[in-house]
Amino acid sequence: MSSLTEERLAPWQKEPFEQISRQYEQGQLPHSILLLGEEGVGREDFSVSVAQWMLCGAETKHAGACGQCKSCQLFEAGSHPDYHCLAVEEGKTQIAVAQVRELIEHMQESSHQAGWKIANITDVHALNASSFNALLKTLEEPQPNTLLLLQAEQLQGVPATIKSRAQLRKVGVADVAVTRQWLEQRHDFISGEMEAAIQLFPTAPYKVESFVEDGQAFKSGEFIYDYSDIVQGKQSPMDVAERWQSELENCVFWCQFLFHDVLYVQQGAGEDVVQLKGQFGATRPIAETISPKGVMLLLSKIIEMQRLIKLKSPANLMASWQSFLIYSSQIAIKYKNIAS
């Protein structure tokens, strides 16, 4: 098949799409679908593809949205009257009850294009108690020919009513091989930075790509020099903690590679074999200052922080991070590298 939908779907999105389109063709489509997918798998793009396809008026629709018909044109222009997307407004952290009420009003109007009406809520976790209550009736007593797409990053914390009313569809990458293959197809080769980002986000291909393309990889690489200063007593740990606060997760990620490199260097490795080649000038002084035992200790603290990142525990993570940096400023005294 060759269509707009086909072009836009990533390989791992095809199966969930086919499940939905099969249900549609068999007249078995539920009124609400809970789309579950972690950041970096293109969950939002997927929901938009589903919506456009549902609204497409072409006869060849079984193959995906055409991109040509009136409905597709309206959709592409962002002005389809039967499609309503609800996201957190800029500067806010939650979806307001007024937004939900407006959405419900639209969903109760008759369809403008004599087809389906689709609501897309980009983050179920952003609904507060009153906005969720406003949505309840739509969820429990849906209008005919309406589809409610509800998105979430994880099932935990999704209200029970949504879980029981909506059909679950997962959009995700099964393993790192899929990520690697997709990146190889889009880029000539997998760069060192990309390889490093794959280690951190093995099942989030879009996240790997944006991490490298937005220069985040390079920017947080600069952190390594500040960190090296802490170990050498040239900068205060609290100053560095404050400066890099907004990049905390990336810094933790870089530290893991840093300590592996430090251990390599202590075994005699040179600049040509380390992973963070651009940071070698910061790696070497650390290798000369701290003993291998001290480096292993720091590495274990980094692994613990990676666990906190996965658990999405920002308060604990920040506390661990600060104590890690303070510890790093003291470690050269306790674990001095006497070999150098």
Q: Minimum distance between the CB of residue 71 and Zn ion, rounded to whole angstroms?
A: 5
Task: Count residues near Zn ion (CB under 5 A).
Answer: 5
CB atoms within 10 A of CB 231: 24
Classified as helix, coil or strand, 175 is: coil
Comparison of 69 and 194: residue with beta carbon closer to Zn ion: 69
CB 290 within 8 A of CB 331: yes
The two tokens of residue 261 are 């490199």
Q: What share of the chain is helix, strand, coil (3-state, %, to 5)?
A: 60, 10, 30
Comparison of 53 and 254: residue with beta carbon closer to Zn ion: 53
Q: Minimum distance between the CB of residue 83 and Zn ion, rounded to whole angstroms?
A: 13
The two tokens of residue 124 are 């179920």
Comparison of 77 and 160: residue with beta carbon closer to Zn ion: 77
Q: Minimum distance between the CB of residue 106 and Zn ion, rounded to whole angstroms?
A: 21
Comparison of 111 and 275: residue with beta carbon closer to Zn ion: 111
27-30: Cβ within 8 A, 24+ apart: 29/147, 30/166, 30/167
Query: With CB under 5 A as the contact rule, which of the stretches 68-76, 115-123, 131-139, 164-172 interacts with Zn ion?
Result: 68-76
Q: Minimum distance between the CB of residue 49 and Zn ion, rounded to whole angstroms?
A: 12
Q: Minimum distance between the CB of residue 80 and Zn ion, rounded to whole angstroms?
A: 11
Annotate each residue in 243-282 with x if it binds Zn ion (CB under 5 A) or - if it does not, as one string: ----------------------------------------
Comparison of 76 and 304: residue with beta carbon closer to Zn ion: 76
Spatial distance between the Cα atoms of 121 and 100, rounded to a whole number of angstroms: 9
Annotate each residue in 314-333 with x if it binds Zn ion (CB under 5 A) or - if it does not, as one string: --------------------
- Does residue 72 touch Zn ion according to CB under 5 A? yes
Beta-carbon contacts of 204 under 8 Å, excluding residues fewer than 6 positions away, are 38, 39, 40, 41, 173, 179
Q: Minimum distance between the CB of residue 52 and Zn ion, rounded to whole angstroms?
A: 8
Within 32-61, the residues that bind Zn ion by CB under 5 A are: 56, 58
List 66, 100, 287, 331, residue binding Zn ion (CB under 5 A): 66
Report CA-CA distances (Å) from 306 to 153, 207, 297, 300, 316.
Answer: 18, 17, 15, 10, 11
Comparison of 69 and 251: residue with beta carbon closer to Zn ion: 69
Comparison of 53 and 211: residue with beta carbon closer to Zn ion: 53
Within 136-165, the residues that bind Zn ion by CB under 5 A are: none
CA angle 192, 194, 198 (to 5 degrees): 115
Q: Minimum distance between the CB of residue 143 and Zn ion, rounded to whole angstroms?
A: 23
The two tokens of residue 42 are 């293109």
Comparison of 59 and 175: residue with beta carbon closer to Zn ion: 59
Q: Minimum distance between the CB of residue 198 and Zn ion, rounded to whole angstroms?
A: 36
List 33, 69, 255, 258, residue binding Zn ion (CB under 5 A): 69
Exposed e or buried b per residue across 130-153, where buried means at least 16 C-beta atoms within 10 angstroms of its C-beta: ebbebbeebbeebeebbbbbbbbb
Spatial distance between the Cα atoms of 227 and 231, rounded to a whole number of angstroms: 7
Query: Which residue type does 181 have?
Result: Q
Comparison of 82 and 209: residue with beta carbon closer to Zn ion: 82
Annotate each residue in 282-311 with x if it binds Zn ion (CB under 5 A) or - if it does not, as one string: ------------------------------
Q: Which of 150, 186, 129, 157 is nearest to 37 (CA)?
A: 150
Q: Which residues bind Zn ion (CB under 5 A)?
A: 56, 58, 66, 69, 72
